[in-house]
Structure formats: structure tokens, C-alpha cells
Amino acid sequence: EDQVTQSPEALRLQEGESSSLNCSYTVSGLRGLFWYRQDPGKGPEFLFTLYSAGEEKEKERLKATLTKKESFLHITAPKPEDSATYLCAVQAHSGTYKYIFGTGTRLKVLA
């Protein structure tokens, strides 16, 4: 069964304290892995798409990496405005457009 697990469930960081969020997945043929940021009461905002092991993408203080079993979202020198829930999703080569989402990591960055 296709599955996505995110860890930790919640993370508190001091401003400037770098860390990583994990997304482990099992899927029958990965088509793509997606990272989103979601603020309370709002829809998820797209961050990155990764397609193959070894791929990396960066945006400001965020860097996403992908292996055959997991993806990491690295946050370098975070600021309070980085506080949000980060969602990971995978899409399989199943012939449909369906995504499978993890439950997210709630990040709180303290000033």
C-alpha cells in the first residue's frame, strides 16, 4: 500500500537554528514528490516538486532533497515567518493523478 510518513509531528526552533523535516514514503513507482507550506486556515502553498533520487531544489532558506526512500526539507537559519505546517505528498505511476499526503510537520520558530 502506498504510504507517506512525516516526522517529527511538531518542531520548535529558535530563530537561526537550522534543522530538517523528514518525509518517508513507500510507493509503487514514484512519479513525483511534492512539498507544500500551509498556514493556519489557508490552503497549501506549493514549494517544490522532486522527480528522481539525488535531485535537490532550493528556495530562500529552504532546500528539498530526495532519495529512493525519503525526502528532507532543510531549513537554514529559520525566521519566525517560516512557522507553518509543511506537507509532503507523493504521486505514483498509477495512471491516475492521485496524490498521497502525509500528516505534516508543524514548525514553530521562536524569535
Q: For binding to other proteins (CB under 8 A), which residues are involved?
A: 4, 31-32, 34, 36, 41-46, 49, 87, 89, 91, 96-99, 101-104
Q: Which of 108, 99, 54 is nearest to 81 (CA)?
A: 108
In this complex, which beta carbon is closest to other proteins, that of residue 76 or of residue 92?
92
In this complex, which beta carbon is closest to other proteins, that of residue 45 or of residue 58?
45
> To the nearest whole angstrom, how small is the minimum distance from the Cβ of residue 55 to other proteins?
14
In this complex, which beta carbon is closest to other proteins, that of residue 69 or of residue 93?
93
> To the nearest whole angstrom, how small is the minimum distance from the Cβ of residue 17 to other proteins?
25
CB atoms within 10 A of CB 16: 11
Dist. CA 84–CA 1, nearest whole Å:
29
